[in-house]
Amino acid sequence: MLKSMPAVLILSVILAVCSACAPNQNSDQLRERTAAATAALKRDTKAVAEGVKEGLSSKTTIDLNKASKDDLVALPGITSKTADRIIAERPYASSRQLVTRHVLSEDQYAQVKDRVVVAH
C-alpha cells in the first residue's frame, strides 16, 4: 500500500499540471478541478495511512495445536522447516513448550510469543 502513495501523488500533480495547460479553461474550472484532485488525494492518502496502521497493529493469535503450516510460516522468524517441527511436536500444553522442547530458541520465541496461544 505504501508504494501506491507516491503514484497517487504523482498522478494528482500530473492532473493538476495538465489541467493548467488546457487551452479552453477559465480560472473557475481550473480551481474546481484542482480542488477535486486535492480532495481525492487527501482521501486516498488517508486510506493508505489507515491501511498501514491496521497492518502494523494486526497481531492475530494462532493456536499452536491447530495452526496450518502456512499460518505458522506467516509468523516472524518461522521458516518452513521450523513450522514442520512445530507441527511434529504437537500437542502443546503451553506456548512456552516451544522453548522447553527446543523447537525454538529464546530469541525466536520472543518474536512470536504474543501471537501464539494454546487453546484448552
Residue 63: what are its φ and ψ, rounded to 5°? -85, 120
Is pLDDT above 50 for 49? Answer: yes
Longest dimension (CA), the chain: 75
Please report where in the chains the cell 511436536 appears, as a residue. Answer: 89
When pLDDT is cut at 50, 70 and 90, the band that residue 2 belongs to is: very low
Q: Which CATH number fits domain 62-117: 1.10.760.10, 3.40.50.300, 1.10.150.320, 1.10.10.350?
A: 1.10.150.320
Is pLDDT above 90 for 104? Answer: yes
Q: How is the chain split into domains, by residue range?
A: 4-57, 62-117
| Structure confidence by residue, pLDDT tens digits, 4-20 | 556 666 767 676 666 55
**pTM for this entry:** 0.53
At residue 117, the 3 state secondary structure works out as: strand
Tell me how far apart the alpha carbons of residues 63 and 51 are, in angstroms, rounded to a whole number.
Answer: 26
